[in-house]
Chains A and B, each alone.
Chain A
Amino acid sequence: MTVYAVNKLCRDALRDLAFREAVKRDPVAAIASRDLTAEERNALLTGDVARLYELGCHPFLLAYLVRWDLFGITGALYNKRIHALHGAPQ
């Protein structure tokens, strides 16, 4: 259940300005030392919020990433991808 580490990362993006700036600058390097599975790391780096949601990342925390377009996740992109989930209202 290392999805905890993704949740923690989202919270750190809110609270830790140095970490947030590092993600903006070089996302691969910024999360290199984080205890993430390969799937989680790939989902983050590709902005696959739907996959992170499915893995159990809390959406309230996941939505923090949009505030600064971290990992390239704009509001429009987040919205589009989260709606791609099975059973989502159109």
Chain B
Amino acid sequence: MAEIVAGFGMPHNPGAPALVARDGPECETARYYADMAKHIAAVAPDVLVIFTDDHFNTFFLDNFPTFAIGIAEASAGPNDQTPMPRYDVAVPGALAAHIRESAIARGFDISLVQDFEVDHAVMVPLHFITPQMKIPVLPIFINCLAPPLPTAQRCYALGETVRAAIEEWPQPLRVAVIGSGSFSLEIGGPKIPPGERVAGTPDPQWSEHVQDLLREVRIDDLIAEATTARMLAAGNIGGELLDWVAMLGVIGARKPVTILPQNDHGQAFVVWRWN
């Protein structure tokens, strides 16, 4: 039967591939993603499940799901002109369909998307951690950007439901799960710092606090504190924490083996392994 073998959380800044191309493998962002890649290689997953938030690219406001799952045999991206290589990637369509069916039977009515591409929130992490694109990737989309957002409780429960579905899968399969996103980030809103940029990190303390809760395995506290108001106080992109919360629902309350903070950017790279 399928098993969950590791959890990861990491950011997906669209500028990261160009930054690393410019500054080389010794820069912090390159080293942190390389550490994630090392752990991915060590756990050798057959499938990556990634909780991601679409930035109005795969979907738009004419039809914007709270939760959706990609059911296809392949996808590609980035579909948002992020300056990076374009990739094709396999999608484990049968597993995705099983997860959706199982989740709906358990009361989680996840929307279906087929014939889709993905944006930087999926492709930036993959660019660094599986550049050969040989591991099939199953995206589960959460609305983290267009309020009303789902609650952290609901996102954690989504993760628990996905775990139950994966564990029902009859064939042996090693599944690693990723939460993609930042903790504090404002783009285009009034919390950006004065100057010429249109993005900033309004609340690095919240980023540090989230990591403290992760380090201390205080998942219940994290879920209780991660209200929409609190997340959005950390920036209008702060809801991306929900991608992490759903990932935590899959792996359960465990102690991380690695936390690599970038609090000036309101984000961190975190790994959970247990075998």
Residues in chain A within 8 A of chain B (CB atoms) = 4, 7-8, 11, 14-15, 49, 53, 58-63, 66, 74-76, 78-80, 82-83, 85, 87-90
**How many residue-residue contacts, CB under 8 A, span A and B?**
70
Q: Which of A8, A49, A58, A83 has the most CB of B within 10 A?
A: A58
**Cβ contacts under 8 Å, A60 to chain B:** 55-56, 145, 187-188, 236-237
Question: Looking at the complex, which one of B62, B190, B236 makes contact with A83 (CB distance below 8 Å)?
Answer: B190
Residue of A nearest to B189 (CB): A59
Q: Are A7 and B190 in contact (CB under 8 A)?
A: no
Provided the pairs A8-B60, A59-B189, A82-B188 are in contact, do residues A14 and B80 lie with their beta carbons within 8 angstroms?
yes
Q: Is B191 an interface residue (CB 8 A)?
A: yes
Question: Looking at the complex, which one of B145, B146, B191, B198 makes contact with A89 (CB distance below 8 Å)?
Answer: B191
Residues in chain B within 8 A of chain A (CB atoms) = 55-56, 60-62, 80-81, 145-146, 186-192, 194-199, 202, 236-237
Shortest beta-carbon distance, B126 to chain A, in Å? 21
Shortest beta-carbon distance, A24 to chain B, in Å? 17
Residue of B nearest to A85 (CB): B190
Give the complex CA separation of A58 and B59 in angstroms: 14
Q: Dominant SS at the A interface?
A: helix
Q: Are A4 and B62 in contact (CB under 8 A)?
A: yes
Shortest beta-carbon distance, B232 to chain A, in Å? 11
User: Could you list 20 A-B pairs, sorted by A, with CB under 8 Å?
Assistant: A8-B60, A11-B56, A11-B60, A15-B81, A53-B190, A58-B145, A59-B189, A59-B236, A62-B188, A66-B198, A75-B196, A76-B196, A79-B192, A80-B194, A83-B190, A83-B192, A85-B190, A88-B190, A89-B191, A89-B202
Q: Are A53 and B195 in contact (CB under 8 A)?
A: no
Shortest beta-carbon distance, B142 to chain A, in Å? 15
Q: Are A76 and B188 in contact (CB under 8 A)?
A: no
Provided the pairs A7-B61, A60-B145 are in contact, do residues A78 and B198 lie with their beta carbons within 8 angstroms?
yes
**Cβ contacts under 8 Å, B195 to chain A:** 76, 79
Provided the pairs A7-B61, A76-B196, A78-B198 are in contact, do residues A89 and B190 lie with their beta carbons within 8 angstroms?
yes
